[in-house]
Amino acid sequence: MAKIILSVKKEINFKKLTSQIKEFDLLELRIDQYPFSNEEIINLIKNLNKKIILKLPSDENLINKYEIHFSDEKILIDLDLPFFEKIRCLKKLPLKRLIISHHNFYSSHDLLKKTYEIKKYKDSFLKIIGTYNSEKDLEAIENIYQLVKNKKRTISFLMGDNIGTFTRFYSIKLGNPFFYTHFEDATAPGQISLDEIKKNRYDPRKINSKTDFYSLIGSPIKHSLSPPIHNFIFELLSKNRFYTKIEMEDLHKETFSLIKKYFKGISITSPLKTKCLKFIDKNKNAFESINTIKFFNGLSYGYNTDILGFKKALLKLLKGEKIKEALVIGTGGSAKAIIRALKELNIKIKIYGRNREKVKWLSEEYNVGIATKNGKYDYQLIINCTTAGSTSQMDEIPLPEEMISGKYLFDLIYSPPKTKLMRISERKSLKTTNGLNMLIYQAIEQEKIWGLNIENDEEMFQNVKKTILNHLNYLE
């Protein structure tokens, strides 16, 4: 089982540190970035009752300064390879509590070479870190774990955001005994915080050689609730699965091939719901946008669970009332799914968007009307399918305020829980809902596609919603 290392590079907020003491297993002091005193180190050893890693810079004077800790069983020493080989004759350095490191901050091209150089120190921890640039970099990490004899004393992953961050999880599957994190400032590119681990229900300690990976792709996804939802379902059903997220605004063939290789399934959000179509092998719903892919037997299968998720969430909002006409705001993949759902419910549709060409195309493609600022507002339901009002665009609304009318507003955004559009609509006496219910329902459908047996959808929905609301202090 991997151990979580909390890495710090500045003066410690001891109160905050002790408040999260159950969230990590070891403390790493980055002495190469901040001059922790021996008194501080002794105090931490005494009060934390945890092992401490001292990451020392290549400075022989500091070896002399910190050598009083070398005999302490609770101390591990991290030294860069060239410097270690200069001073390894120091008898006070304990090989079993020594981490011999190599970091490449630009690529992974020399990692195998460095592994050959370091692996002779088999009694020590070997730390070989590169930087993600392409799929070949992940192959380099895999080759390292195949090369070394003692995988549980080998620390190897790739720095860098998104896929770089994923390699930190994936390396545990290969044998990496440590997962590095922080709570104030990252000490390396792609390192995530203790808060993010808790928020997303990431638990690196549960990853093993048989863990299957799933992920969300799209942008922006910083505030997505998909990871905690899916990871909770995995926990509830005792499945050895792990769900993460990879931020990307575009998708290329090479990246899709990488995802296909390392993941069993993915969720897709804006702006990739239509871009994914050209990469999948089979479109199971024959829809113009997909939000779910399953990888099986070398093939990729695309699905859309937004439609069913929206319909179930809409029924909760309407509570049995029949709607004759709805206004759909937006022209992207989500709007296409919502239009299909409304057509299945026999609801007349008008669309509104700022890109006139896309609005015209969508109108002709789906045989729906076009709403204009100066037109007649006879719809009863408004559905926002844009990102206007989301956490990164909180001051925006997706249509002129005078167009907000009718009885109901369904905003697909769920972060923040209440958008500016929702607040304005409520002042105009519209009943509103955000996208959380839809998100949970469509996630349950995704899990079915990925092979989980969920006997009672509504019971699962209630379990997930209650847990997520409590877990994140999320207020609808």
- Reduce the DSSP state of residue 450 to 3 states and report it: coil
Q: Which residues contact 239 (CB under 8 A, 6 or more apart)?
A: 233, 452
Task: Give the residue from 445, 462, 463 showing the smallest Cα distance to 454.
Answer: 445
Decide: 27 and 54 in contact? Cβ < 8 Å. Answer: no
According to DSSP, the residues that pair with 155 across neighbouring strands are 127
Decide: 347 and 410 in contact? Cβ < 8 Å. Answer: no
Catalytic-role residue among 55, 173, 273, 336: 273
Decide: 435 and 459 in contact? Cβ < 8 Å. Answer: no
Decide: 214 and 241 in contact? Cβ < 8 Å. Answer: yes
Q: How many angstroms separate the most distant Cα atoms in the chain?
A: 86
Whether 273 is catalytic is yes
Task: Give the residue from 135, 137, 61, 54 showing the smallest Cα distance to 101.
Answer: 54
Task: Give the residue from 118, 71, 66 showing the smallest Cα distance to 97.
Answer: 71
Neighbours of 47 (CB within 10 A): 12
Q: What stretch of H or E contains 364?
A: helix 356-366
Location of structure tokens 């008194």 = 39
d(Cα 159, Cα 305) in Å, to the nearest integer?
34
Amino acid at 92: K
d(Cα 1, Cα 200) in Å, to the nearest integer?
19
- Reduce the DSSP state of residue 265 to 3 states and report it: strand
Active site residues: 273
